[in-house]
Structure 1
Amino acid sequence: MTSPHPALQDALREALHHERAHHDRCRTALAAMVDGAQEHVVTGEDVSASGADAEVLGYRLRSQAKEMRELPEGPLFFGRLDFAEGAAADHSGQSYHIGRLRISEHPAAPPLAVDWRAPVSRAFYQASAHDPQGVAVRRRFGWAPGSRGDSADLTGLEDEHLGRGESRASDIVAREIERPRVGPMRDIAATIQPDQDDLVRGDLTVSMCVQGAPGTGKTAVGLHRAAYLLYTHPQRIRRGGLLILGPNRTFLSYIAEVLPALGETGVRQSTLQEEIARHPVTGADAERTAVVKHDARMADVLRRALYARVSAEGVADLAVPDPDGSYHWRVSGDELARILRGVRAEEPPYGVGRERVRSRVVRYVQVRAERRAGTPSNAWVQKISRSRAIGAYVDAVWPRVKAEEVVAELLADERVLTAAADGLLDAGEQRALLWARPPRSWKSARWSAADLVLLDEVAGLIEHPEGYGHLVVDEAQDLSPMECRAIARRAVFGSLTVLGDLAQGTTPWAARSWDTVLRHLGKPDAAVVPLTIGFRVPQAVVTLANRLLEKLDVDVPAGRSLRTDGELRIRETAPGGVLAAVVDAVRDALTQEGSVGVVAADADVDRVRAALAAAGIPAGGIPVAGIAVTGIDVAGIAVAGPDESAARLSVVPAALVKGLEYDHVVAVEPAAIAGVGAGAETGAGAGAGAGKRGLRLLYVVLTRAVSRLDVVHGRPLPF
């Protein structure tokens, strides 16, 4: 709200003075809340009926105090709602400041600031001139970039008189969206759009899939949905747990500060490989082998291999000695076979089935004993259950087994693999699976990233893993069917928020249809919601990316952007002058605000970094001998480390740039990134399904820019 009119300028100054004073009051109240939380730890953890209750109470109090202390510094509100007289009974004539958490001077006192997730706050995101929802005035506050919460940093405000039918584009929202990005991802609580808000506030029990074009904020939506669910269903989420799954650690480092900024500090953020890591990854697969291991048919192969160990063949009658040694209870071979068939037909987890066979044999003996001498004691039943004869029988027909034993035998023994894969995998696929040099035992095996997925599948057949109440799965288009199954096992009794973009699928098993992904995730009825309006990537960049989208063979609507301020430059040079042109582009980029990402084919990263260093331009990043990226080993690359995520200039391999954003991107030799044309052996697509997958990787690279994009090339452009 700015105007040259003196009276309006005076009104603005008075309003800012009033709001700054309110912010000071909020800051004082928050400090008291933090001190109070710590005091409750001291005075409250021993106030309980029992030691166990005291321990639980103490843990909760300490957790609450820790969360309060760890809240990041920053402005305590970003908006205000003034409800009209005669609005909904609870809010008629009321005013509410909207912030990232609830602040009050006393638990029973009216809040000084309301949490953005509270029901009343929804009107801040959804109200409009056509549907004011009882709101007379919506006020937005402008804060100085990077403010740590000093009231003097409140520099402006805008009022939108919805009750009068006034509608206006917010300059404050536009500036916040377009603000230069340096360091980790920021929250978007102040700028959530109505369609994003609908997704954020979706019901906990409903699984959804967000198909988001670049720059539409799908990752931010997923993170804010996690924060909303934690706020709205705290007990249910604590009971079941909430998990954020990202594609790699670089990505997780980038998003790590979003949830703490929203007041949620106890959320597990991990990669799928970390979740299923029974062993460190020390082996590597050829792509053909990895593709077969990630195929959905492997689930049936592994099930066959596991249950091939279950057999009553050759089992004779069983004699179970009575605990007092005076009698032997006989169980016929036919009865034992019947019990085994019955348990198999029920398809319990392998470990449960084994104990079920034992309990039914014991029950059979118990019934016969009841007929002979009345109901036996519990001690008698327990002794029968621990009988060596019954234990030996169970071990013979349903042996105890480890997942590692099943997978190692399958990959090492051609006869076992042939029997398990008959009719499922052809001869070439079976040869691709077999280890060239089998280890002496599974304990000395060199497990690959794909092997971990197989191990998790078998472990899930033996005993179901503990699940989560809700999982947010980002970059889901790159998940293989077997990886989806690993996630599904952890979401049997929970719900999923699936985030991704089919156009950005770059693994050999990348999905072309969300229906297939959701079926493997165990949520076939989840709704697929498209986000197509970009708020970050400029229209000039989106237009270029849409030209490439037409070649990607995926059913994805073209993106569009509300930003017209971006800049796109195509720098063509001789093939030998690419590195010099990159140096020039970086020098130009560093004269402007914001972060700069130089993205090159994985094999070219070291050369690009060396050229920049020779020109006296240091870049963030650390050399890595090998890093697993969604199941593929990418060796000899350099990536930005978590401790250097705030570096203004980073050189990033194309394989790791997915999900990241930079104000200025320098895309180095697109043909090499896509793995097409001369010298394609240096590109990410070399020997790894160059073509559509390489073009999708290039699509990812081009859409990382949120202000400016330089495309430097010496070879013909793939688009």
Structure 2
Amino acid sequence: MSHRSAPETTVPDPSVPDPVLDAERAHLARAEACLAQMRVAATAVTDAGVDAWASERLGAARAERLRALAADPGVPPFFGRTDSPYETFHIGRRHVRDDAGDPVVIDWRAPMSRPFYQASAVEPQGLSRRRRFGFAGGELTGYEDEHLTADDGESAFLRSEIERPRSGPMRDIVATIQPDQDDIVRAPLAESVCVQGAPGTGKTAVGLHRAAYLLYTHGGQLARTGVLVVGPNRAFLRYIEQVLPTLGEVDVEQTTVAQLTARVPVRAVDRPEVAVLKGDARMAEVLRRALWGEIRKPADDVLVPLVGRRYRVPVERLKRYVDDLRRRARGDDDQQLLHYAAGRERLAMLLAEDARRQKEAAGGSPTDAETRRAARSPEVRAFCDEVWPARDAAGLLLALYTDEALLARAARGVLTDDERALLRWDAAPRSARTAPWTEADAVLADEAAGLLERTSGYGHVVVDEAQDLSPMQCRAVARRLAAGSLTVLGDLAQATSPWSSSDWARTLADLGRPGAVVRPLTRGYRVPAEVLDYANRLLPLIAPGLPPASAVRSEPGALRVRPVAGLAGPLAEVVAELAAAPGSIGVVCADAEVAELARLLTGAGVPAAVLGDDGEAPDRIAVVPATLAKGLEFDAVVVVDPAAIVAAEPRGLHRLYVVLTRAVSTLVVLHRGELLEALTAHPAL
């Protein structure tokens, strides 16, 4: 068997001089000084006083620059170095230059930084050495050299960084990006990418770093159009919120689908079968018919007032105007697609312009302002109200649910009689404001708003946990894409929603990017092999077509499965034992058991707090509802009563797979009663 030696790791003895370490520490001090000087220079930018607009823009640019250069306590300016026969570069989270403009640290996103992530013994990419650095509290404590030969073994510094305790929010992974991840991060802006990532493969981090990379590479374009990150819930957003600012990107909007589609106040919950129907893509056609079906054929001529006279527009021309506008709304011609509200305004102008042409034919010359006044006249508005009535999103949805004739007409041939019955409200609320709207209704209202008016789009959208989006939620995201590109992140094995698909084709089609390339990530960097192998035993049941993920590291003793008669003593005992080591602890259970477990722990003197959907994360020990665990990581995880998690929802096995893969170092499973058969054959038992 061949032996691969580890890279040369140097952790200095304070009593022995190390000229290499001294030189690197000097470069670190220089980089920190240069970065501080860059902040001073940004602060010193003065206003030339050209005009108010220029002053406002200069102030905004200066504030943005200062935020991007803000100091990150404990985060050093660089984490690696590349050496070639011709030049040496230190690689860091952002570019640092000296007073002469020469680079002191190269931004990790720059093309010349890519060999740091991609170089190997097979393809050294011009490098003779890759150096990684070890830090503690911002102080450089050691270094490790890889000479990019076949004898280079596993990097101790790389493994140490991957395994570092996970207390607090998610961190960037710029020091540990692997070649397969780097390929996705640096994919072209025009390319939409779908990342099928198994647990621990870093798909969320890859998506965020891709956003940072695109902002660096295409800053001018994306500064105008913006970048949007869509997560599954506020707890998840709270977990990831510091990643992009740490990388110097402070102007990325991060939101959830619920916040994105908050068109109506949500105060009710749908039954599962109703939620599934409202999330079905067919509802888009029902809404389209309901809205455009309100347009009526003109029945009589209209007299349009213009500069003291009235001009008759005959009914035949009125019919033609309405028909032409409706064709544009259906996309039947090559003109830009027309939205409903714009069509109504355009119809009013067509009448006013018709009167203008009549006046010009008689020798008059009405102005543009006079023509616009004619379009706003009571006579024209009354005609539009009759033929092309004004609508709002909430009102349209309320009418659809309460007007049986409207629903029957809009859903004919699209929904069954039973499905229409699921949508109908027995009693009409007094107004749209007081209606018992649900989250699915908010998404439908957003669809209706998109029919009424154009939705503003972004240059790039990153959507995480996309396997759980309903078709209608996908359409809501797609409306924000405009002509931009998309990064889709998810794992089909973690699909817990009732509308989840078994492959990515339908989701990508609903997101408006059916041609997106699916990039698999199957190497787990965060989850130990013992934990991942245990969870993988569920894959034949929940996602038989997916290959199991493999872990790059093994941690003997990382998995413990323990039967218990009761939870009061064993739970507090296990959590207290885990709390003796540094790092975060997540106690994950079925949602219905959260309050009981929190009471048991606090009653035993263990300082635990419940993780809520408000995004507020407990400091160290969190009791986590199973439905909020997705996307989160903890150093140690205690899964309580896996059978209860499975029984709590139709796709409970998928949910269990999620919670079993949240641990970075240690997983403890406490179960009352029989363990699931799929898990009992594991050697750990």
Pairwise TM-score range, normalised by the shorter structure:
over 0.9
Kindly tell me the number of residue pairs found equivalent between the two proteins.
662
Q: Does 1:317 align with 2:310?
A: no
TM-score by length of 2: 0.92
Instruction: Call closer, same or farther: CA 1:579–1:548 in 2, change over 3 Å.
Output: farther
Aligned CA RMSD, in angstroms, stands at 2.2
Deviation, structure 1 residue 361: 2.6
Q: Secondary structure at the match of 1:467?
A: coil
**Map of 1:28 onto structure 2:** 33
Tell me how far apart the structure 2 counterparts of residues 640 and 587 of structure 1 sit (CA, whole Å): 25
SS in 1 for 2:541: coil
Is the 8 Å Cα contact of residues 262 and 442 (structure 2) preserved in structure 1? yes
Determine the structure 2 residue equivalent to 1:700: 658
Closer, same or farther: CA 451–70 of 1 in aligned 2, 3 Å = farther
Cα 1:291–1:3 change in 2 (3 A) is closer
- 2:94 aligns with 101
Return the alpha-carbon distance in structure 2 between the equivalents of residues 5 and 594 of structure 1. Answer: 24
Q: Which residue in 1 is equivalent to 2:513?
A: 523
Alignment partner of 2:453 out of 452, 463, 468 = 463
SS of equivalent residue, structure 1 residue 571: strand
- Whole-Å Cα distance in 2 between the matches of residues 381 and 323 of structure 1? 9
User: What is the match of residue 353 of structure 1?
Assistant: 343
Deviations 1:302-355 (A, max 9, x none): 111111211115x21222244232xx4222222211211111011111011112
2:90 and 2:104 in contact (8 A); partners too: yes
CA distance in 2, matches of 1:340, 1:232: 46
Distance in 2 between residues matched to 1:664 and 1:285, nearest whole Å: 35
Paired residue for 1:414?
404
Cα distance, 1:276 vs structure 2: 1.7
Q: Which residue of 2 aligns with 1:284?
A: 269
Q: Do residues 600 (structure 1) and 593 (structure 2) align? A: no
Indicate the SS of the match to 1:278.
coil
Query: Structure 2 counterpart of 1:54, which letter?
Result: S
| Distance in 2 of aligned mates of 1:673 and 1:586 | 19
Which deviations, in whole Å up to 9, do the C-alpha atoms of 1:361-393 show, x marking residues without a partner? 333333333333265443443343233322221
Match among 202, 208, 224 for residue 217 of structure 1 = 202
1:508 aligns with 2:508: no
Q: 2:536 aligns with which of 536, 540, 546?
A: 546
Distance 1:668 1:119 in 2: 47
Query: What is the Cα deviation at residue 539 of structure 1?
Result: 0.9
Counterpart check, 1:611 vs 2:631:
no
More displaced stretch, 329-338 vs 403-412: 329-338
Q: Which runs of 5+ in 1 are unaligned?
A: 85-92, 622-637, 676-682
Q: Distance in 1 between matches of 2:75 and 2:202?
A: 22
| Aligned twin of 2:672 | 714
C-alpha distance in 2 between matches for 1:34 and 1:293? 51
1:674 paired residue among 640, 643, 646: 646
Correspondence for 2:141 among 143, 151, 155? 155
State TM-score, norm by structure 1: 0.88
- Equivalents in 2 of 1:174, 1:527: separation in Å? 30
Give the whole-Å Cα distance in 2 for the aligned partners of 1:369 and 1:310. 29
State which of 305, 311, 315 in structure 2 corresponds to 1:329.
311
Could you say if the C-alpha distance between residues 514 and 11 of structure 1 is closer, same or farther in structure 2, counting changes exceeding 3 Å? farther
Distance in structure 2 (CA, Å) of the matches to 1:324 and 1:105: 72
CA distance in 2, matches of 1:165, 1:643: 47
- Tell me by how many angstroms 1:195 deviates: 0.9
State whether residues 264 and 445 of structure 2, in contact with CA within 8 Å, keep that contact through their aligned partners in structure 1.
no
Q: Which has the higher contact order (CA 8 A, sep 6+)?
A: 2
Cα displacement string for residues 248-271 of structure 1 (whole angstroms, at most 9, x for unaligned residues)? 111111111111211122221111
Partner of 1:59: 60
Give SS of 1:206's match: coil
- Aligned pairs for 1:130-141 (under 5 A) are 130-141=122-133
The 8 Å contact of residues 485 and 520 in structure 1, kept in 2 or not, is answered as: yes
Distance 1:609 1:699, change over 3 A: same
Contact 1:470 1:496 in 2 (8 A): yes
1:620 and 1:640 in contact (8 A); partners too: no
Q: Is the 8 A contact 1:34 1:65 kept in 2?
A: yes
Matches within 5 A, 1:626-637: none
Paired residue type of 2:55: A
Q: Residue 31 of structure 2 contacts residue 77 of structure 2 at CA under 8 Å; is this kept in 1?
A: yes
More deviation in 361-370 or 235-244? 361-370
Classify 1:191/1:80 alpha carbon distance in 2 versus 1 (closer, same or farther; 3 Å).
same
Report the AA paired with residue 385 of structure 2: D
Q: Which residue of 1 aligns with 2:246?
A: 261
State the partner residue of 1:112: 104
Structure 1 residues 590-629: Cα deviation after superposition (integer angstroms, max 9, x where no partner): 23332211100000111111221222212022xxxxxxxx
| 2: CA distance, partners of 1:357 / 1:111 | 59
Question: Which residue in 1 is equivalent to 2:43?
Answer: 38
Secondary structure class of the residue paired with 1:709: strand
Q: Name the SS of the counterpart of 1:392 in structure 2.
A: helix
Q: Which residue of 2 aligns with 1:197?
A: 182
Distance in 2 (CA, whole Å) between partners of 1:367 and 1:483 is 46
Q: Is the contact between residue 542 and residue 703 of structure 1 (CA under 8 Å) also seen in structure 2?
A: yes
% identical aligned pairs: 47
Q: Residue 5 and residue 68 in structure 1: after superposition, are their counterparts in 2 closer, same or farther (change >3 A)?
A: closer
Distance 1:474 1:140 in 2: 30
2:589, 2:645 within 8 Å by CA — same for their partners in 1?
yes
Match in the other structure for 2:681 = none
Q: In 2, Cα distance between the equivalents of 1:142 and 1:174?
A: 11
Match of 2:559, SS?
Answer: strand
**Aligned partners of 2:348 and 2:375 also within 8 Å:** yes
Q: Which residue in the other structure is 1:570 paired with?
A: 561
2 CA distance for matches of 1:5 and 1:404? 64
Aligned residue for 1:368, secondary structure, equals: helix
Residue 632 of structure 1: aligned partner? none
Q: CA deviation at 1:640?
A: 8.0
Query: Does the 8 A contact of 1:160 with 1:166 survive in 2?
Result: no
Aligned CA distance change for structure 1 residues 4 and 274 (closer, same or farther; 3 Å): closer
Counterpart for residue 626 of structure 1: none
**CA gap 1:321/1:26 in 2 versus in 1, 3 angstroms:** closer
Q: Aligned residue for 2:577?
A: 588
In structure 2, distance between residues paired with 1:394 and 1:223: 47
- Does structure 1 retain, via aligned residues, the 8 Å contact 2:91–2:113? yes
Contact 2:10 2:144 in 1 (8 A): no
Look up the match of 2:231: 246
Q: How far, CA to CA, are the matches of 1:9 and 1:618 in structure 2?
A: 39
Q: Give the alignment partner of residue 13 of structure 1, picking from 18, 25, 38.
A: 18
Contact 2:8 2:145 in 1 (8 A): no
User: Structure 2 stretches of 5 or more lacking a match?
Assistant: 1-6, 330-337, 679-685
* Partner Cα separation in structure 1 for residue 602 and residue 16 of structure 2: 54
Matched with 1:89 is none
SS at match of 1:113: strand
